[in-house]
Amino acid sequence: MKKQMLMVALALAFSAHVVTAQPEKVQANAAQTNAAQTNAGPLKPTAAQTQAALWASRVLARYHYKAMPLDDVMSAKIYDNYFKTLDSEKLYFTQADLDQFAPARTKFDDAINNEDLTLPFQIFNVYQQRFSDRMAYARELVQKGNFDFTTNETLQIDREKAPWAKNEDEARDLWRKRVKNDWLRLKLAGKDDKGIRETLDKRYEGYQNRLKKLNNEDVFQMFMNAYATAIEPHTNYLGPRSAENFDIMMRLSLDGIGAVLQSRDDYTVIREVVPGGPADKSGKLKVGDRIVGVAQGNGPFTDVMGWRIDDVVQLVRGERNSTVRLDVLPADAGQDGKHVTIPLVRQKISMEEQSAKKQIIEVKENGVKRRIGIVSLPTFYQDFEARRKGDKDFKSATRDVQRILGELKKEKVDNVLIDLRNNGGGSLIEAVELTGLFIDKGPVVQQRTAEGRIDVESDTNAGLAWDGPMGVLINRGSASASEIFAAAIQDYGRGIVIGEPSFGKGTVQTLINLDRFSQNDKMKYGELKMTIAQFFRINGGTTQLRGVTPDIKLPVTSDAENFGESSYDNALPWVQIKPATYLPAGDLKELITPLQKRHDARVAKDKEFRDIEQDIAEALKLRKDNIISLNEAVRRKERENQEAKARLRESRLADAQDPGKADEPVAGPGSKEQRAKAPNPTAPKKSNVVLKGAPRADDGLQGDERSLAAEIAAEKAAKNAKDVYLQEAAHILADEAGMLKADTRMASRTMPYMSGLKQSGN
C-alpha cells in the first residue's frame, strides 16, 4: 500500500512466522542475532551493505524498465521517500529536524556512489531518538492521566498530507491528543483508570522495545526500498533474510518443525501447530507454549527471551533431518513454572493454508438446486527450484487447481468459480498455465520490454481441464498474475468476471541475486525485485492503472485514493499496443444483461448488501472528514449507535441461519474482507477493505493486548462467517447455469465450445 507507518513497514520483523530452515545460515546467524538484541549505540552500515547499495544502483540505473540515473534529482526523491518510510504520519520528526537535514536532499546519490551510507543511518538514529522521546512523553501523560473529556477537541486521523509539527511544543500537543484518544477508547470499553494506565504504559513501552530491536539490516533495507520505490512502486530491495522468506512464500514449502511462532510480551509463543509436522507428531508442543531457549542438536541452549521473532525463527531453522531442542515453558505454567526440553527432527513442511482450496456451494431457488464449485487461490505459487531439478511432485498452483477441477467434475458441479480476491499475484508462468486449464491453445498475455520488444506468452497444451461454464471473482486486492488470468478469461469470452475493479498492476518483475557481485562467499548482498517489462492483455489493452473491470459489479469496498496502482504518484501510465492473434472461445455479452438484472433484483432485497453499502458510505465519510472527536459524550453516543447496529444485525443474522429455512445456501468460509471489522468511528482504520459484518464495539486494544485464546477464537468465528460476496457470486453462476440449460440455442451462441454443459449437469 502507499502508506507505510514504521510499525507497519516492519511487520515482517515482528509478526507471526512459520518456522523454516536454511541450514547453512543457522549457526552464523546465531552469533549475529545475539548482537542484534541490544541496540546499545547508534546503528552503522556494514561494508557489505555499502557495496550492495552500489551494485544495486548500477543494476537499477541500467536494466530497469524505467531506468533512471542516480543523480541529484533521484537523490531528492530518495530523500522524500525515506522520510515518508520512517514517519509517513509525521508523528515523530519536526520541521526543525527536516530543516537540519535539508542539505542531505541532494547527497544520497553521493552516499551510494562513494560507498558511505553514514547519512541515511544518521537520519535513522535521529528518528530513533525522536521516537523514544515521543514514547517517553506518552508514558508520562499516562501516569498523570488527567484528561478533560468534556472539551470539544478533535484528532486528525490521517496525517500523511498534514504539515510537520513546527517544533517540540506542537509535536507534544499532537501526542497529547493521541494518548487522550487511546485512553478514551479504553474508558469507553469499560476499563477503569488503573487498567487503562497499565495497558497504555505497557503498550508504549512495547513500541520502544520493538524499535530498539531493529538492526542495521532493517535500516539498510528501509533506505534501499526508499531508493527502489522512488523509481517505480513495485521495485524492491530484499535483504538476505527477506529474500529467503520471499522464496519460501513462492514455493509454499520449507524445512522446519511445523509451528507458527508469535511474539507476545517477551516470549516466543506457539501460535499454531501445523498438522502432520514434527511438532504435531511429537504431541509435546501445543498452542500457547512459550519457547525460552533453543539448542542445535546436543549443543548448549541459547536464551531467546525478549528476542525478535525472526531472530528466534532463524535459530529454530536448520537442515532437514537435523535435530533442534527447545526449552519450553508450558502454556499452563506460571512464569516460574517447570520448563520442559523438547527435541524435534526438522522435516519438510507444506504451507497448505496458502494452497488452492475447494468448496461447493449449493444454491436453491424456485425448487431447483445448482451446485457451484469454488476454487480459492490465495497466490500464484510455484517451487521453481524443485521444477528446475525435475521433481515430478513440485508444488504448483496450476497443478493443485487442476486436481481440484477433476474432483469437482466427479462431484458434478454446474459451474466453477475461481476466487482470486486479495490474491496479489506471484508466478507469471502459473498465470499462463492456469489460464490453459480453461482454454485450448492460444496467447494469454503480452510483454513489452524497455527496448520495445513484444513477447507473447501462450498456452501450448491442447485440451481443457474444465470445459463447463466458469467465472472469476476479484476485488481491489487482486493484482498482477490475478489480473493476467482474469483479463485472459474475459478476453476469450471464457467466463464471467465478478466483483470490483482490480488493483491495476500491469508490470513484470524479476529477482536479481546481488550476491553474484560479492567478492567473497561470506558477504551477502541480498536481492532486487526489479521491474523489467509491462504486460498487456491479448486484446492490446493493459491492466496498468485501470485494472480489470468486472462484467458483473459488486459494491466497491476499497478506496482507490489510498489503495491500488492509481494511488502511486510514480506508477507507469496506461497505454495500448496491437492485439495478439487469438480466437475467442465464446461471447458472453448476451448473458451479461439478464444476469445483471437478476443480480440487481436479488441484492435490492438483501439487507446484508444494504449493510455493506451503509458501511462503505460511513467509512468514506469518516475518511473524508478525517477527524474524530475527543469528547466523551460524543464518542459514547457514537458507540451506542454502533452497538445498536450490531444487535440489529446479529439478530437478523441469527434469524437467517435458522435451520428451518431450507432455501438458505450453504455458507462458505469467510474471506479476508469478512474478517475485517466494520468501520467504527472510535477506531478508524485505513484498510482498503470496509466490508460488512455485525459491527463490534471497540475494545481499545491492540495486537497481543488481547489473550491468545480470544484472538484465535475470533479468527475461527470469522472463518465460519457468511461470505456475502462469495454467496452472491455463486448465485450469479447458478443463474448462468440455469439460463444455459434452459436455452440451448443461447448456449450454442455464447459458449459453442462447451461440451461440459451436458456432462456436468444434474
Catalytic residues: 480, 491, 505
Residue 381: DSSP 8-state: -
Measured in degrees and rounded to the nearest 5, phi and psi for residue 127 equal: -60, -45
Q: Answer yes or no: are the C-beta atoms of 428 and 505 closer than 8 Å.
A: no
Least Cα distance to 4 among 95, 77, 75, 82 occurs for 82
Residue 165: DSSP 8-state: B
Please give the Cα distance from 461 to 707 (Å, whole number): 51
Angle, alpha carbons 602-606-609 (nearest 5°): 105
Rounded alpha-carbon distances, angstroms, from residue 389 to 177, 393, 394: 58, 11, 9
Q: Answer yes or no: are the C-beta atoms of 20 and 317 closer than 8 Å.
A: yes
The residue type found at 417 is: L
* Sign of the CA dihedral running 151, 157, 163, 164: positive
Please give the Cα distance from 206 to 139 (Å, whole number): 11
Rounded alpha-carbon distances, angstroms, from residue 198 to 142, 203, 379, 651, 690: 9, 9, 41, 35, 31
By residue count, the chain amounts to 762
Please give the Cα distance from 739 to 460 (Å, whole number): 32
* 54-63 exposure pattern, b = at least 16 Cβ within 10 A, e = fewer: bbbbeebeee
Least Cα distance to 25 among 298, 325, 316, 219 occurs for 316
Instruction: Write down the residue that cell numbers 498452542 correspond to.
Output: 287
Cβ atoms within 10 A of the Cβ of 604, count?
9
The residue type found at 711 is: E
DSSP states along 342-368: EEEE-EEEE-GGGS-EEEEEEEEETTE
Rounded alpha-carbon distances, angstroms, from residue 675 to 694, 697, 759: 11, 15, 37
Partner residues linked to 533 by β-bridges: 449, 508
Conformational region of residue 380, where left means phi above 0, alpha means psi within -120 to 50, and beta covers everything else: beta
Q: Answer yes or no: are the C-beta atoms of 274 and 286 closer than 8 Å.
A: no
Q: Answer yes or no: are the C-beta atoms of 208 and 135 closer than 8 Å.
A: yes
- Please name the residues in contact with 522: beta carbons below 8 A apart, sequence gap of 6 or more: none
Question: Between 607-625 and 724-742, two packed helices, what is the crossing angle to 10 degrees?
Answer: 130
Instruction: Write down the residue that cell numbers 511462532 correspond to.
Output: 261
Please give the Cα distance from 314 to 318 (Å, whole number): 8
Angle, alpha carbons 375-378-382 (nearest 5°): 100
Least Cα distance to 93 among 158, 159, 41 occurs for 159
Torsion over CA of 447, 451, 452 and 454, rounded to 10 degrees? -40
737 three-state secondary structure? helix
Residue 696: DSSP 8-state: P
Angle, alpha carbons 95-684-132 (nearest 5°): 40
